[in-house]
Structure 1
Amino acid sequence: MTRILYIEDDHDIGSWTVTDLQKRGYQVTWLKTGEEADTHAGDADLVILDIMLPGLDGFTIGQRLKKQWPDLPILMLSARTAVDDKLLGLQFADDYLTKPFHPDELAARIQVLLRRGTPAETRQLALEHLSIKLPGCQIIDTRTNEEVLLTGKQFHIFMYLLKHPGQVLTKEQIYESVWGEPYLDGDKTLNVHIRYLREKIEADPSQPTIIQTVRGIGFRVRLS
């Protein structure tokens, strides 16, 4: 089933749009702000994004998503009809539809973008010098164009962090997700695996920038 990430703060527009898309067979995740967009975009086949949002505006969110997932189709959906707004949006977005709109037109534009776009199964994630193919997590070091090979545990740790971009994950969360058993306070197993993982993916393992340590809490991957 095609997965759509829909970011819209207007309740009425959002409700009937989600209902219509679901009737057409799409799986829709509806966010009313862009704060968690990074978390959900990796699982989406397409993003529908409003411009006027609380907090970060749609332009900022769209640019950030496109930088992280260059192959992810983005459809801007906004009441702003000025040519300058459209031109700004189309610098990163794949299409721009103004409100009010007919649901059939929205559906048609979605179909065009999906035919043009790359399926989520082969999506590329750019992370510093790494190019990562999701969800299989094939990692290419773009400096050498060589694949970075991980062990099973390293793979699962990295994938778990990538599925929660920007989120600080405790050692307990990571350990229990990867090992499937309770974390014992003071256990250094996770730290050892993180150290070896960093040696493979970081430009400078002694000063890691991909997997960041949040002192006293755990780790996070920041996509920027």
Structure 2
Amino acid sequence: MYIRKAITIAFAAAVAFIGTGTDAFAAKVRREANFTVRIENISNADGYETAGGARYPFALSPGFFILDAKKTALFAAGEKASGALEAQAEDGNPELFSKHWLTRVGGLKIGVFNKPEGSMMPAPILPGQAYQFTFKAKEGMKLNLIAMFGQSNDLFYAPEAAFELFDKDGNPFTGDVTESFMLWDAGTEVNQAPGVGDEQAPRQKAANTGKAENGRVGKVADGFVYPNTRDVLRITIMAK
């Protein structure tokens, strides 16, 4: 009786072990790839004409990016801007975004792009310049990023939602994503005509100054004329 019982227990344990091993073997292995993101200022080197006839160069500020398995949002249209969004949109400062996400746990990666290609110092990118950064990501991860329209009070470029870095078959994405980027208004500071406002980042006396708007985040609709995104920026994602 004892021997029969021992054999039965051993057999059950073996079956359990085989089942566990089979499940582990059958689990899908997530693919991994290296990605390079390139953000180019392709705007007219002669600049853009203001209402008064002056011209201003298009500039894009340093920005922030995040990789996550979720479609992590950096803002919500129709809602008040966070302090991190305000700093990014008004002053081109991504540091508050970094500090916010550094306190989070989980499988996410964050980073700042702030040095024009070939430069060792943080600065906006002017016509002909570019930001470029690389990262490694696993299947299922998404990319989101944000940067300021430098000649504005509180405008920024960002997609409506994070990008899928792999398709449903696990193939890494490569392509031009410029069309997904839109010009948004943070609603934190009253807008002035682009390129001439004395409370805009290139001309203001100090960061975080300017007449408060107390509005909400939304697509730009202030009556001023802005260049088409595709005429000033080219944003590409390249997988290796």
TM-score scaled by length of structure 1: 0.23
Q: Which has the higher strand share?
A: 2
TM-score scaled by length of structure 2: 0.22
Higher RCO by CA contacts (8 Å cutoff, separation 6 or greater): 2
In our comparison, the structure showing a higher alpha carbon Rg is 2
Q: Which has the higher helix share?
A: 1
